Amino acid sequence: MTGPDRPASSNLDQPDASAVRHLRRDVVAMAPYTPGEQLGKAIKLNTNECPWPPSPAVLAVLGAIGADQLRLYPDPVSRELRRAAAAAYGVSPEQVLAGNGSDDCLTIIYRSFLAPGDRVACPWPTYGLYETLAAIQGVELVHVDYKLAERAWTLPSALARQNAKVVIIANPNNPSATIVPIAELRRLADQVDGVLVVDEAYIDFAEADGAKASMIPHLDQHPNLIVLRTFSKSYSLAGARLGLLFAAAPLVANLAKVKDSYNVNVISQALGTAALNDRDRHLDQVRTTVRERQRLERALAAFGWSWPESAGNFLLCEVGPRAGEIYRALKERGVLVRWWDKPLLSSKLRITVGRPEDDDRLVALIRELW
Ligand SMILES: Cc1ncc(COP(=O)(O)O)c(C=O)c1O
């Protein structure tokens, strides 16, 4: 077995195997990132993908990809995609970098800013990859716990004082789906002596009702601000692996030096451009998801569960000591949700909003099990 699904211990099973001893010791010692499970025909409510197909305009572009596009290397700097992103978000193309998923954009940031001895800080609990990338880069990750109130998770004020070169906030946060207001993020950008990365993977859901939640319009006031977006969630393109990074033009020019030469393939560039040009369909899909989330919330409330107010396409449900048992029972019955056996999270399940029929199946199973 190869790739990310390889068991966590495989490197360590044979510590004396000839080539393993040549690996960096911190790589051998590090825990791999654990991606959400993928099980044949299971209903997947565990990785916050959108349950709807991509826009018909995107699928038409996919069907029209030609032999020459595949034969030749793609545009190394994704010009057309960046132009479309610049037009959609009101910035210049020089302020946009495209990545092989926003995970690639995060890797580019770590490689560019962080050398051994440097620190990266984030509020906790949050997206686990921030920690994995710190281990790969050989830098220290400092967690500062969120202040947890029942329906809100607020930023710890100590976050700005961690002597970190890079501070990362997922906004809305994964796994809580909670959101930090723009004014607070702008204050933090002014306070940190380094860069503030705001990972807006789920921001489209927060803006579904017309609210202003994104930091992209504030880039010009904060030269140390980097904003990330992904096509994996609200655009239903997780399989295409496509993300965007927005920052001041001089930052983008330097970050581009450390990316892989052809980091975004020709198909993903074309699909992303088509998706950005189909704004109405996108907004429609986001609003449908939020309405379905509200329906799911009404159904789950019947079990006495609670969750922080969600600004995303998922809910972090407080289930109690039976959370792990419910996760396993749902999995046995073909429904995947996310559970972590970790401090602050082991009593909770993170549930992605699915199609109505999938959510109904989930609720029916919980009714049996609870
Ligand atoms: C906060 C956050 N950032 C980034 C990602 C990854 O996005 P991508 O698929 O674009 O790499 C995820 C995926 O779950 C996420 O939750």
Whether residues 301 and 186 fall in one domain: no
Whether residues 81 and 217 fall in one domain: yes
Q: Which two tokens stand for residue 357?
A: 């029929």
What's the confidence (pLDDT) of residue 26? 87
Q: Which two tokens stand for residue 229?
A: 């977006």
* Alpha carbon distance 96, 253 (integer Å): 9
* Alpha carbon distance 302, 310 (integer Å): 17
Q: Which helix (H) or strand (E) holds 318?
A: strand 314-318
What's the confidence (pLDDT) of residue 15? 54
Is-contact 95 238, C-beta < 8 A?
no
Whether residues 38 and 64 fall in one domain: no
Cα-to-centroid distance, 102 and ligand 1 (Å): 6
Whether residues 244 and 340 fall in one domain: no
- Coil, helix or strand at residue 204: helix
Q: Which residue has its alpha carbon closest to ligand 1 atom 3? A: 201
Note the pLDDT tens digit of each residue in 104-130. 999 999 999 999 999 999 999 999 999
Please tell me if the CB atom of residue 269 comes closer than 6 angstroms to any atom of ligand 1. Answer: no
Q: Flag whether pLDDT at 63 surpasses 80.
A: yes
Highest mean pLDDT among 20-34, 36-50, 227-241: 227-241
Contacts of residue 122, Cβ cutoff 8 Å, sequence gap at least 6: 130, 141, 142, 143, 144, 159, 167, 168, 169, 170
Alpha helices, H only, the chain: 10-13, 25-29, 56-63, 67-71, 79-89, 102-113, 129-137, 182-191, 203-206, 249-255, 266-276, 279-301, 323-332, 356-369
* Alpha carbon distance 229, 101 (integer Å): 9
Index of the ligand 1 atom closest to the CA of residue 105: 11
Is-contact 199 101, C-beta < 8 A?
no
Q: Is residue 37 part of a domain?
A: yes
Cα-to-centroid distance, 173 and ligand 1 (Å): 10
Domain encompassing residue 359: 33-48+281-369
CATH number of the domain at 83, please. 3.40.640.10
Q: Is residue 21 part of a domain?
A: no
Please tell me if the CB atom of residue 102 comes closer than 6 angstroms to any atom of ligand 1. Answer: yes
Q: Give the mean model confidence (pLDDT) for residues 19-23.
A: 88
Note the pLDDT tens digit of each residue in 153-191. 999 999 999 999 999 999 999 999 999 999 999 999 999
CATH number of the domain at 361, please. 3.90.1150.10
Binned at pLDDT 50, 70 and 90, residue 5 comes out as: very low
Please tell me if the CB atom of residue 95 comes closer than 6 angstroms to any atom of ligand 1. Answer: no
Whether residues 218 and 100 fall in one domain: yes
* Alpha carbon distance 46, 353 (integer Å): 9
Cα-to-centroid distance, 49 and ligand 1 (Å): 10
Q: Which two tokens stand for residue 167?
A: 């501070």
Determine what percent of the chain is predicted with pLDDT higher than 70. Answer: 95
Whether residues 257 and 129 fall in one domain: yes
Cα-to-centroid distance, 201 and ligand 1 (Å): 6
Q: Pick from 218, 230, 164, 169: which is nearest to 198 by CA?
A: 169
Q: Pick from 149, 114, 153, 147: which is nearest to 130 by CA?
A: 114
Whether residues 175 and 306 fall in one domain: no
Number of domains in the chain: 2
